[in-house]
Structure 1
Amino acid sequence: MELTGFELGVFGAGLGAGLVVAIIVWIGKLAVRSSLQKEIEGLKSHLHTQMSINAKGYEELQKEVETLKHQNENLRITVATLSNKPGRAELKTLHIWDKAIRTLILNSPAFAPAWEMAIAEAKKETEEADTGVKALVRRVFSVLPQDQLQQ
């Protein structure tokens, strides 16, 4: 079957119109693809920036955690050292006894007067020992060796 010139012209015009439409659609799609590529690059750049900010924040948090751990260890050592200083155990015992005495004074009405008399006698003996003859005797005898005091 042979095509006539008219048929070839109609075929060529249809083919040309189809190619023109295809080229226009193809150019449109290239423009859309190009804009989408730019948007993807922008999103990648934004994601990279966001990740670097998060990484810096995470590093700062890690450094802060390490600093706080170090400070915590130093404070723990300081507390342990201070609680082992001479006199701390005695002070703790003194506070415990003071609380126990206050509880006894509140709960036992007969305990308070006896306790106050015992405190007054102890204060008087301590004052006499710190000043006067008892202090002198104690100083003199503390210089002598213990075996001479027993003879």
Structure 2
Amino acid sequence: MGANKIGDRERRWRVAIAFLVAPGAPVCAISMFLLSRGLENEALSTAKVLTIFSYLAALFFGIPTYFALRKRNINSLKAYLACGFGIGMVSYLLIAAYLVSKTNFSMLVLRNTIGLAILATGCSIFGSLVFWSCTRAWAWRGDDGGV
């Protein structure tokens, strides 16, 4: 088996692991923060909701974004973080649009969900950082990879 095939197989495993780990990383960080404050019930309920939304966002937005970046051979951290911000904002806007469609007080809904926008974009940016780190070969080998 050629070295290129081994490299491709290794890259595929790194990407698969990144898609499993990255959406859960912000959930773990927020849950650990809430647990450190003694908020066990809030940590559990927040983890349940954020896990569902983060893996759905990764499935519907993260996978297509990864393949679009890969097709264009874009590998920079800045691009991944910008895409993470975009995924977070799109996710927030979809939730906000749904909430606005269910009420007559649309400006009130938007004003009261600004915290959700910050949470969605922050989690998505952090998840993108974790994803980018997992897909870098140097992160697995232990060398700096020229970065």
**TM-score using structure 1 length:** 0.22
**Quick check: which has more Rg, 1 or 2?**
1
Task: Give 1 or 2: higher helix fraction.
Answer: 1
